[in-house]
Amino acid sequence: MKKDKKVKKPGEGVLRAVSNALFLLKIALKASPFITLHKLLATSKNRIIVFFEHTWLLGFMIDCIAGNEPFRKPASVVMLMFVIVCLTVNVFDNFVNHKYDPGECLKIDRAIHDMVYTKAEKMDLRCYDDPEFYDDFVWATREAKNQVYAVINTVGGIIGNIIGIAINGIYLMTRDGLGMVAVLVSFVGSFIISFWLNKLWYRLDEEANPISRKLSYIKRVFYLTDHAKELRLSNVKERLYRDFDAACGEMRALRKKRTLKICIVNILNNFFFRDFLIQGVYLLYLLWRTIVKKAFSYGTMVTLYNSCNSVSGSFRSISYFIPKLQEHSLYIEKIRHYLDNEITVKSPEAPLPLPESGDIVLDNVTFGYKEGENVLDGISMTVKKGERIALVGYNGAGKTTLVKLMMRLYDPTDGVISYGGTDVRQLELDGYRDKFETVFQDYQIFAATVGQNISADDTPLDAERAREACEKSGFARKLDTLPDGFDTPLTREFENNGVNLSGGEAQSLVIARALYKNSPVIILDEPSSALDPIAEYNLNKTMLDIEGEHTVITISHRLSTTKTADKIYMLEKGRIIEEGSHDELMRLDGKYAEMFRLQAEKYRAQVI
Ligand code: ADP
């Protein structure tokens, strides 16, 4: 029967492993060539020093003693060696490692960070809904930095050990080739056995994987803040402790069962292919050639023996580093897969001039997050410059999706959106998005000062304008209670005196941020959901009273907040089912009127 060909995982194969290693090395070399080369060549330098200082020098000194050479001969060589080693290892390495390296490594970290996050920032928002992309993204952020140093270490290790084999090998071959034969037999033998050992370890890992996952889940529950409240308020921790003990017991039993075989194979491997062959057979051969045949001086014998051990050690290191390179490759492959994600929502190569401001026109726009499942279906509408419009409808009607399309966070599957008469896909993306300021339901407060949260960029805060924005959004009440005003740090992430805002306060701060930015279009997605009734009333008044020619688009399912909009669009299942002013829609007596009356009754019932 024909055997199934083993399917390679992405990243497997020597060539791909080399290409993946080079991919990260190039980034490190570009960011800091000196430090990358220094780290890459560290093992090579050590192998050269070890050969001259520990192998050759020892033999030379023994021969000087045996040959009754004058003291100054070995002493001058020892002094020369001492000066060279002291200068390269002690002075140079210490200077580089402790003075230069910490700062330069930050450059490498920065380059890696830029590579991952620049891509993340430009990625289509759609990708964040794709679990495969998200998985790669988390891998890339977590692993990219670790992998770059791991690759430098591994490649440096391989280069260094090749150099070690070359120097010692040349010495062995010129003096006595048999040493090299002993090393090669020992290497091939232990290489074959190491495959067997790797299989045994892999089987153990595979069997231990479900138990490790259970253990790490329980550990996570104990340290993640998400679970902190439940852990304190319920007895679930008792069960978790029990599960943890049981999983530890299972892991112990599994290791006990599997590790005896691994241990025996290791002992036999070391015995036959290291101790017996080199420290036994080859050493006896050297003694015989030196004492009986007088073929080597004492110094040469010692040097040959040490060289043989060094070559053997270098071969072992290479057989450790090559699988490591393969292991890194699997990680790097995922990082590259993430970086290869194609960006579709992007600026055109030759963008058309960006209009200062203008109408937003949607012409027969259709969109779905997944193929064949339309969330918006043939939407046509014109939002005039300076108009205050409201998008209303029940949850899931498509209101938020509609504004995401207007801001070009997604592109429509069908139809055209234009701004000031130009298809938005023909405009420079960042400049176009800058026309909008948005307060989403899932708004974010940054761990920075109140002022920085309002200005949301590097420019110095215009305190007068910021104060005005806070008054309009209702944040001024809270601002007046903060001892350091705009300089008060928010969140306790980095500052012990940081302030944590309530939901309503945070929301009014984010609205102040939107008002401060002074963009032509302001979008408020459920802006009043966390506000109390008075703050809600004030906010609505503010939004309608904003001076100038701002277009304001409000999304709400509380119809009392949108009553005064110039135009209201009622959405249902991704379609506009009614449009007009509040009075017009009430007169129409359709779905909007029904929803409005239902909410008014509910509100009255709550008040009574
Ligand atoms: P609304 O704002 O009216 O509550 P949304 O625009 O948020 O409605 O959602 C419209 C539909 O699209 C809902 O069925 C929702 O589940 C779906 N939806 C929203 N965001 C995503 C997403 N990122 N991926 C897949 N489906 C989504």
CA 72/CA 505 separation, integer angstroms: 83
At 45 the pLDDT is: 93
Structural domains of the chain ordered from first start: 14-340 (1.20.1560.10), 346-435+522-539+550-608 (3.40.50.300), 441-518 (3.40.50.300)
The best mutation among 127, 345, 366, 369 to test binding of ligand 1, ranked by most ligand atoms within 8 Å of the C-beta, falls on 369
> Could you tell me if the CB of 374 is within 6 A of ligand 1?
no
> If you ran DSSP here, which 8-state letter would residue 550 be given?
-
pLDDT at residue 162 in the model:
97
Higher pLDDT, 444 or 57: 57
How far, in Å, is the centroid of ligand 1 from the Cα of 275? 68
| Residue 404, helix vs strand vs coil | helix
Among 560, 514, 518, 511, which residue's Cα sits nearest to residue 539? 511
Q: Is 90 exceeded by the pLDDT of residue 249?
A: yes
Give residues with Cβ within 8 angstroms of 536, minimum separation 6. Answer: 528, 558, 561
Q: How far lies 50's CA from each of 79, 171, 582, in Å? A: 16, 14, 87
For ligand 1, the distance from its centroid to the CA atom of residue 401, given in whole angstroms, is 6
Give the residue-averaged pLDDT of 505-531: 80
pLDDT computed for residue 605 by the predictor: 55
- Give the mutation target among 124, 366, 375 for probing the ligand 1 site: most ligand atoms within 8 A of CB: 375
Least confident stretch, 124-128, 227-231, 434-438: 227-231
pLDDT in tens, 375-433: 999 999 999 998 989 999 988 999 989 999 999 989 999 999 999 999 999 999 989 99
More confident position, 579 or 331? 579
pLDDT digits (tens, 9 = 90+) for 457-471: 777 889 999 999 898
Q: What average pLDDT does the segment 63-85 reach? A: 93
Res. 4: pLDDT tops 60: no
3 state DSSP class of 556: strand
306 versus 437: the higher-pLDDT residue is 306
Is the pLDDT at 535 greater than 70? The verdict is no
pLDDT at residue 33 tops 90 = yes
Separate counts of helices (H) and strands (E) for the chain: 22, 10
Where residue 5 falls among pLDDT bands split at 50, 70, 90?
very low
For every residue of 557-596, DSSP letters joined together read: S-GGGTTT-SEEEEEETTEEEEEE-HHHHHHHTSHHHHHH
Ligand 1 centroid to residue 575 C-alpha, Å: 13
Question: What single letter denotes the amino acid at residue 512?
Answer: A
**589's torsion region: left (phi>0), alpha (psi -120 to 50) or beta?**
left
pLDDT digit string (tens) for 171-228? 999 998 888 898 888 888 888 887 788 788 888 888 888 898 888 888 888 776 666 6
- Chain-wide mean pLDDT for the chain? 86
Retrieve residue 103's tokens: 């700062």
The predicted model gives 551-575 an average pLDDT of 87
375 alpha carbon to ligand 1 midpoint, in Å?
Answer: 7
Is a pLDDT exceeding 80 seen at residue 570?
yes
**pLDDT at residue 111 tops 80:** yes
Share of the chain above pLDDT 90, in %: 44
3-state DSSP helix/strand/coil percent for the chain, to nearest 5?
A: 65, 10, 25
Judge if the beta carbon of residue 398 lies within 6 A of ligand 1. yes
Statement: residue 2 has pLDDT above 50: no
Check pocket membership of 435 for ligand 1, CB cut-off 6 A: no
CA of 399 to the centre of ligand 1 (A): 8
Residue type for position 68: N
The candidate with the shortest Cα–Cα distance to 149, out of 328, 296, 2, 339, is: 328
- Note whether 366 and 414 are within 8 A (CB): yes
Say which residue the tokens 């001492």 belong to. Answer: 82
Mean pLDDT value of segment 106-118: 91
Rounded-to-integer distance, Cα 552 and Cα 525, Å? 11
Distance (angstroms) between ligand 1 centre and the Cα of 264 equals: 59
Closest by CA to 147, choosing from 291, 328, 407, is 328
How would residue 131 be classed by pLDDT, with cut points 50, 70 and 90? Answer: low
pLDDT more than 70, % of the chain = 90
Angle between helices 131-175 and 42-49 (to 10 degrees): 20
Tell me the β-bridge partners of 154.
none
Q: For ligand 1, say whether the CB of 393 is within 6 Å of any of its atoms.
A: yes
